[in-house]
Amino acid sequence: MRLDINLFRNYSEFRKILVYILFLISVILSIIPGPIAQLIQIAAIILLGWFILQIFFEILNPPTVLERPRQYDNFYNAWPDIKDYLMNTLKKGSPFTICWLDSSLEHASVLISDVLKPILLDSSKNPLKIELAMLDPNWAEIDKINPSWASLAKSNYESLKVFLDVYQEEIRKHEWSIDLLLYRFLPNIQGILINFEHLFISSCTWRNGQMNHDNFYELYHFNDNFAGKEKIDQFRSWFEHCQKENQNLAQPTPSSQGVTFFITTEDDKK
């Protein structure tokens, strides 16, 4: 589709230049005597009329360009829009849900630092249900997918537990529900579903023998014209499978190595 749009755009630009040239030729030839100049002028006028008719009909019947989801190069390019959708939904004041599906929960730090912490320190109440799904750090097969994901997933898991412990009173006052789900299967997609209406989604791919999740994101809406509902249903099916998987898995035991991102202390809350 992108190629079709570019071809149409290039042809329109070329036609515009050609119309100017034909018009200029017609004017110049009108002052040059002789039958040959007159024949060339007639041909130029006919071509000019043909292009003008094309432009006229395109004005009356503009070409239909199919809508497509907005794309982002990676998660961090998408994050400003993700944050805007989260904050705008929160401002409505009504309860809403966030479903966050990730491999190692690597990107959850920005959710906590940029969105959750500031809201928790606000006195207003914003009922919220958050479910975060990630690979089980204790899954024996995780090293075969990506050797770095086991330690990263465990560290991020423990970091989230620290956040939940430190802010448990604020979470209770705001009537929040935050659940961490674990799964043990090859990750296919990842993304963030906001209130079952807006979906930022990406896919996992193989690179140099390792699973990689730093791919482009797309934004879908439940009521859009490019299969947004179908994409959301697909994402929810994977997320619901994670929920079922989590029921049969034991939670990882904390290590003594500490955490790597967003270590939260009581001083941060003041």
- CATH number for the domain spanning 118: value is 3.30.870.10
**Residue-level pLDDT at 249:** 63
CB distance 54 to 14 below 8 Å: no
Same domain, 191 and 102: yes
Q: How many domains does the chain have?
A: 2
Same domain, 110 and 131: yes
Which tens digit of pLDDT belongs to each residue from 182-213?
988 888 889 999 999 999 999 888 888 888 77
Same domain, 117 and 241: yes
User: What is the three-class DSSP state of 202?
Assistant: strand
Domain span including residue 213: 70-269
Same domain, 35 and 81: no
Same domain, 42 and 83: no
Greater confidence (253 vs 180) lies with 180
Confidence of residue 10 (pLDDT cuts 50, 70, 90): low
Report the sign of the C-alpha dihedral through residues 167, 172, 174, 178, in that order.
Answer: positive
CA atoms within 13 A on the CB side of 122: 11
Same domain, 10 and 36: yes
What is the maximum alpha-carbon separation in the chain? 97
* Mean pLDDT, residues 261-267 taken together: 38
Q: Is the pLDDT of residue 255 over 50?
A: no
Examine residue 95 and state whether it is found in any structural domain, yes or no. yes
Same domain, 13 and 45: yes
Examine residue 65 and state whether it is found in any structural domain, yes or no. no
Q: Is the pLDDT of residue 250 over 70?
A: no
Q: Following DSSP, what letter does each residue of 1-47 receive, concatenated?
A: -HHHHHHHHHHHHHHHHHHHHHHHHHHHHTTS-SHHHHHHHHHHHHH
**Token pair belonging to 78:** 């998408």
Same domain, 111 and 163: yes
Which tens digit of pLDDT belongs to each residue from 70-108?
999 999 999 999 999 998 888 777 778 999 999 888 888
215 Rama class: left (phi>0) / alpha (psi -120 to 50) / beta: beta
Which tens digit of pLDDT belongs to each residue from 52-77?
887 777 677 654 444 688 999 999 99
